[in-house]
Chain A
Amino acid sequence: MFLGRVVGTVVSTVKDAALKGQRLLIVQPVKPDLSNTGKRLVLLDCTGAGPGELIYWCRGKESSFPFLPDEVPSDGTIVGFVDELHIHDLHQQRGR
């Protein structure tokens, strides 16, 4: 899974029937220090996330599983809110 921040929404009227009623959100992937990384992308949502929310999302076929038994054509879905990130300073332990 990857970290991201919700930065927008997509409205689509003509779409796959299984996508009807699904929320399409624009997400900016972020690093654990919350700085941006990579390009923004469109994700489905199974959590009710809103703009500005820090979330984590999952990619691939697995991202359609929250909607079972509906077969939703998703390749990326928001699967949880991020409440806290505990990052430990490991620079002393780095290396092999």
Chain B
Amino acid sequence: MLIARVIGELVSTHKHKSHVGRKALIVQPLDLDGTDRGDAVIAFDAVDAGVGDRVLLVTEGFSAMTSVGRPESPIDMAVVGVIDVLNLDPLPGTALAHLK
């Protein structure tokens, strides 16, 4: 999964029938520091996310299809969660050091 920001919505009238009735969001993947990570993508909304929300984005078919409730359909990305808080250890690696 990726962390991403919803930056817009896509309107399409002529599309695959499995996409009808589902909200298509324009989503910008983010790095942990909040900067853009590659280009924005189109993802279907499984959690009623809105513009400006920071969200969890799945970028694989099975998880996207099942979360949107459209099995065996051409959907490869979906928003599956809205992020409330993100806690990040300031020194990556140290949090798991005691497991070694």
A residues adjacent to B (C-beta < 8 A): 1-3, 29, 31-32, 37-38, 46-48, 56, 58-63, 65-66, 68, 77, 79-88, 90, 93-96
Contacts and interface: CB of A to CB of B under 8 A. Distances in A.
Contacts of A96: 34, 54, 86
Interface in B62-76: 64-65, 72-76
A51 to B, nearest CB: 16
Contacts of A63: 74, 76
Interface in B31-63: 34, 39-43, 51-52, 54, 60-61
Contact of A81 (B5, B12, B42): B12
7 contacts: A1-B77, A2-B39, A47-B14, A65-B73, A68-B72, A87-B8, A95-B34
A85 B51 CA distance: 13
Contacts of A68: 72
Interface in B1-28: 5, 7-16, 18-19, 24, 26
A83 B26 CA distance: 14
A88 B8 CA distance: 6
Contacts, number: 108
Nearest to B88: A96
Q: Which of B5, B24, B39, B65 has the most CB of A within 10 A?
A: B39
A31 B40 contact: yes
Contact of A62 (B9, B15, B26, B76): B76
